[in-house]
Amino acid sequence: MFSVLGQQVHLQTSGPLTAVLGNDKYEITCTYSGLDSGQIQGLSLRLQKGGVDLVVIHPLYLNKNTTIHSSVQNRVVVARFGASNPVTKVTFNSITCDEGGSYTWSASYYADTAETTKTVTQQITVKGKVEA
C-alpha cells in the first residue's frame, strides 16, 4: 500500500494458488482500489513471469485490446478491470508445467505529473493429477 494525492492505493492478488497439470482451469486475479476516476482511465496493468509480459492491459482511454503473449494466447481468457469494476481476472484453460512459479502484477498510472507504478507478486504451484 502507498499514498498518492492523500489516497491509500492498494493492489492485491488472489494469493498463492495450486493448479493441477492438464485440463484443469485456474484463475488469478488482481484488484485495485483507491484510485480516482482520472487515474482509473490511465491505469495500465501487466501480468509478468520471468520478465515476460504475458498480459498487457492498456489504459481505458486508449480503447485498445488487451495484448496476450503468444506462449499463452490460446490458453487464457482475460476479463479486464473497468471504471466501475476494479478486478482483472486471467483464467488459464489448460495447465502446463511451465505455469508454475512467481507472477508479478504491475500497475502504472499518473498521479499529478509523474508516473506511479505498484507491483505485487503471486506464487503458482503446479502439481500432477492424482490418479484414483
> What type of residue is 115?
E
Q: What pLDDT, on the 0 to 100 scale, is given for residue 130?
A: 57
Strands of the sheet containing 26-33, edge to edge, are 2-4, 7-13, 26-33, 87-92, 76-79
Question: DSSP class of residue 32?
Answer: E
Q: Is the pLDDT of residue 2 over 80?
A: no
Q: Enumerate the domain spans of the chain.
A: 2-125
User: Each residue of 82-126: pLDDT tens digit?
Assistant: 888 999 999 999 888 888 889 999 988 876 667 788 888 888 888
Q: What pLDDT, on the 0 to 100 scale, is given for residue 1?
A: 33
CATH of 2-125 given 1.10.1060.10, 3.20.20.70, 2.10.109.10, 2.60.40.10: 2.60.40.10
Cell numbers 507491483: residue: 119
Short-list 89, 103, 12, CA closest to 51: 103
What distance in Å separates the CA atoms of residue 66 and residue 125, rounded to the nearest whole number? 25
Q: Which three cell numbers stand for residue 2?
A: 502507498
Q: What pLDDT, on the 0 to 100 scale, is given for residue 78?
A: 96
Q: Is the pLDDT of residue 4 over 60?
A: no
User: Each residue of 15-64: pLDDT tens digit?
Assistant: 778 888 877 788 888 888 888 888 888 889 999 999 999 999 999 999 99
Q: What pLDDT, on the 0 to 100 scale, is given for residue 12?
A: 80
